[in-house]
Amino acid sequence: MTNSGYSLDNAITSSCTSSGWYIQVDMYMLRQMYPLARESDIYLGENSCTGYSNGYTLVFQHGIRDCLTSETVTQNAIVYRNRLFYAMRDPQYPFIIRAYNWSIEVECDVMRNETASSHISHNTQNPFNSGHAQGTSHYNITMRFYNDPNFQYEIPGNPLHVNVGTDVYIKVYTVAADWGIKMIVHSCYTKPDLYASDSLKYYIIRDGCEMDVNTHYISQSTHETKFMFRDFEYTSNHEGLYLYCDATFCETSNYFDQCQQSCNPRGKRGAESRPRLTETVQERIIHTRK
C-alpha cells in the first residue's frame, strides 16, 4: 500500500484461457502510485509484447505461449508463467532500459476448473520481484451432431431431437490454440437422465475402445475426434438420454497409454503413465416418434 491509498493488488488483474493471456492494468490507479507511468513502459515478457489502451485500462492479450512464456506440466495442470514488467527507460535513449520499477509474475494454470480466478500477492522486501498474479482456466471442448458420415449436415437444436434407431454422427473438438497439446476422447457414455445413478451408465466408448456394437470411431486427430453411434432408449426413460464424453489433454510428445488415440483396456496401462487434464462435455438427446 502506498501513500495514495492504492496498491498493485488494486491496479492489476490477471486471467487467462487455454489459448491466451488477458491482463488488465488500471492506469488511473497505477499513476496514483507512479505519476509518470506510461503505457509504453509496461510489457509482458519481452518489450515487444505491449498492451493496448481501453479507456483508463491497459489490456494485454497475447497467446498463452508467446512473449517468452514458460510451460511446466504438473500432475493436475499445465502451468504457464511469465512476468509483467514496468521499465524505467533512459530519457534520452528510450530503447535502453536502465532499471525496473516493479515486475509481477503472472501464472496461468490450465486445469479442469470451470471458472477463472486470479489473485496478486506481494513481496514488499524486493520491489523488483514485487508480486505474483495467477489465473486458472480449462480446455473448452464442444460436441456437435450430424446426420451424415461426411459431417456436412448438422442436426439443429439444443437439446437434440432424433428418432430412436437413428445413426448419429458426432464431432468432439477443442479450439485450444496450443498445438503442443493433444486431446484424446477416451470414454463416452449415456445416462437416462441428468441425475441418474452411475449404475445406469452405459459406455459406448471406454478407454478408447468401442464398447457398443453400433458405435464406431471415424477419425481422430490432436484436436478433434469423430465417431458415430446408433441412438437407443432406456427402458426407464422413453423421452431421451444424456450423452457424455470425457477427453484427456496431454503433451503431443507423451506416448504413454493414457495419451494415445488407441484402445487401452483397463489393466493394460503403462506403469509410468501419468494422468493428465480431463474435461467432460454433455449433451441431451430427446427421442421423437416416426
**Burial of 230 from C-beta contacts in 10 A (0-12 / 13-18 / 19+):** middle
Kindly state the average pLDDT of the residues 78-89: 83
The model's confidence at residue 101, banded by pLDDT at 50, 70 and 90, is: confident
- Which tens digit of pLDDT belongs to each residue from 170-211? 999 987 767 778 888 889 999 988 888 888 999 999 999 999
Please tell me the predicted confidence (pLDDT) of residue 129.
Answer: 39
Q: What angle do CA 119, 100, 4 make, to 5 degrees?
A: 60
For residue 33, pLDDT over 60 is answered with yes
Query: What's the rounded Cα separation, in Å, for the pair 11 and 166?
Result: 56
- Which tens digit of pLDDT belongs to each residue from 190-199? 998 888 888 8
Supply the pTM of this predicted model. Answer: 0.55
The model's confidence at residue 116, banded by pLDDT at 50, 70 and 90, is: very low
For residue 114, pLDDT over 50 is answered with no
For residue 59, pLDDT over 90 is answered with yes
Sequence-distant (≥ 6) Cβ neighbours of residue 232 within 8 angstroms: 164, 165, 241
For residue 266, pLDDT over 80 is answered with no
